[in-house]
Amino acid sequence: MGGEEEDQESPLLGCSSQPDEPEEPLKRTGTIWTSIAYIITGVIGAGVLSLAWTVAQLGWIAGPLLMIVFAGITIISTNLLCDCYRHPDPECGPARIRSYMEAVRVYLGEKSQKVSGVIVLEGLWGGAAAYVITAATSMRAIQKSNCYHKEGHQAPCAYGDTFYMLLFGLVQIVMSQIPDFHKMEWLSVVAAMMSFTYSFIGIALGFAKVIENGKIMGSITGVPASTLANKFWLVFEAFGDIAFAYPYSIIVLEIQDTLKSPPPENQTMKRASMVAIFVTTCFYLCCGCFGYAAFGNDTPGNILTGFGFYEPYWLIDFANACVVLHLVGGYQIYSQPVFAYCERWFTKKFPNSGFVNNFYTIKLPLLPGFQWNLLRLCFRTAYVVSSTGIAMLFPYFNSVLGLLGALNFWPLTIYFPVEMYFVQKKVGAWTKKWIALRTFSFVCFLVTVVGFVGSLEAIISAKLS
């Protein structure tokens, strides 16, 4: 791995229909701005809509404070991971490490790579399923909003999610034929614009509701529960929701691999991460706090679909349409690394297979030629079908987000980046830096445990009720 070889796309990710033709070097054109767009697209998505509910469970002190703490944790872990892109030197090493699992293999070995691979693929696939749930909820909310406007706020406007999940899945089957990350800058920019739009609308609606109420709702301790045990379950689930809302470690190296150099890719990526997380945290605090201030103990699980807001109905419809458009791009941000990893594996495993390596060109009127192959079509379609199916089986917005956030937070965002940092920087055992990072990792492990337990309890209760 390294140098020239890593600067070429694998046969499956390239566009040549002739396997024997020499591959052209991959031209990296990404900048700090495209990286910020990628990060915001990947981070501000399903998670932002649940933050008002999260603040409501934690109260006015713990809720905003935990968002800031998670932002700091994300920046620390991302900076550790950015230095792993080039090996052995983080700025001028000859070898490029183009994915999270590849980094784990280089720094920690094959066994750790297999463990991380399972967790990474589960996290990406789970994130895609969560986006299906969120997109379907927003599409259904548009229909409900129009119903409430026509029939009145007390009308029984009840609609299912299944049709909308299937519709979103069909769109993703088409979108998933985009070859790879390097061909989807436009989609990320559009998706990031949509995320800004609906976040601003959510903030504005919350602020307007506070003005209408004439007071700030909520309390220091958050929403009361029937028992102390129930309160703990809700607080634990809220931890999982915040854990889902921030980290994007599993796509850091894929994004970094799109950057042109000079300047060194790790420096550009660190600056992009700092800006993106700062912007994201501001949005999160505004969305979460204004939502809780507006509704207090009645704060819905999803601020744009829980119908704390009814009017202006057209603005709520527009905001939810922006959510759906953003999630079309967000789904691909989470899915393209899975496609790239699995298709590279198939290419190496079956180098002489026409099903795997042969590309065909489709030319449509007024459009450039589109190249595809049978493996890409079949595998990516099956992936979308499976993520849509699991979303239909467990359509519980807050609980699913919390469970996914808890499962992936400590191993992917904390443990592996810390361990790789130890190897790269040759940090000795029981040094001050070693003790500090070990303590940091253990505290984050406890967060994962409580978030997982709380979210799992909520899913089981919802499924059995």
Q: Which pLDDT value is given to residue 368?
A: 66
Please tell me the distance from the alpha carbon of residue 272 to that of residue 64, in angstroms, as a whole number.
23
Residue 309: what pLDDT?
66
User: What beta strand segments (E) does 79-162 contain?
Assistant: 86-87, 95-96
Indicate the pTM of the whole model: 0.76
Residues of the chain predicted below pLDDT 50: 1-24
pLDDT for position 180: 61
Task: Return the amino acid letter for 423.
Answer: V
| Structure-block tokens of residue 272 | 């992009």
Residues 6 or more apart in contact with residue 351 via CB below 8 angstroms: 357
What letter represents residue 82's amino acid?
A: C
Tokens encoding 102: 């590849």
pLDDT at 389: 92
Q: CA-CA distance, 422 to 81, in Å (whole number)? A: 11
Structure tokens at 307: 């119908």
Q: What is the pLDDT of residue 388?
A: 93
d(CA 262, CA 260): 6
Q: What is the pLDDT of residue 7?
A: 41
Interatomic CA distance for residues 108 and 423, integer angstroms:
8
Q: What is the pLDDT of residue 435?
A: 94
pLDDT value of position 307: 63
Using an 8 Å Cβ cutoff, are 10 and 343 in contact?
yes
pLDDT of residue 445: 93
Residue whose entry in the numeric block shows the structure tokens 């810390």: 418
Three-state secondary-structure class, residue 328: helix
Contact indicator for 136, 160 with CB cutoff of 8 Å? no
Would you state the pLDDT for residue 24? Answer: 45
Torsion angle, alpha carbons of 69, 71, 75, 76, to 10 = 20
Is-contact 19 358, C-beta < 8 A? yes
* Per-residue pLDDT reduced to its tens digit, 213-270: 888 998 998 999 888 888 988 898 888 888 877 777 777 888 888 888 788 888 899 9
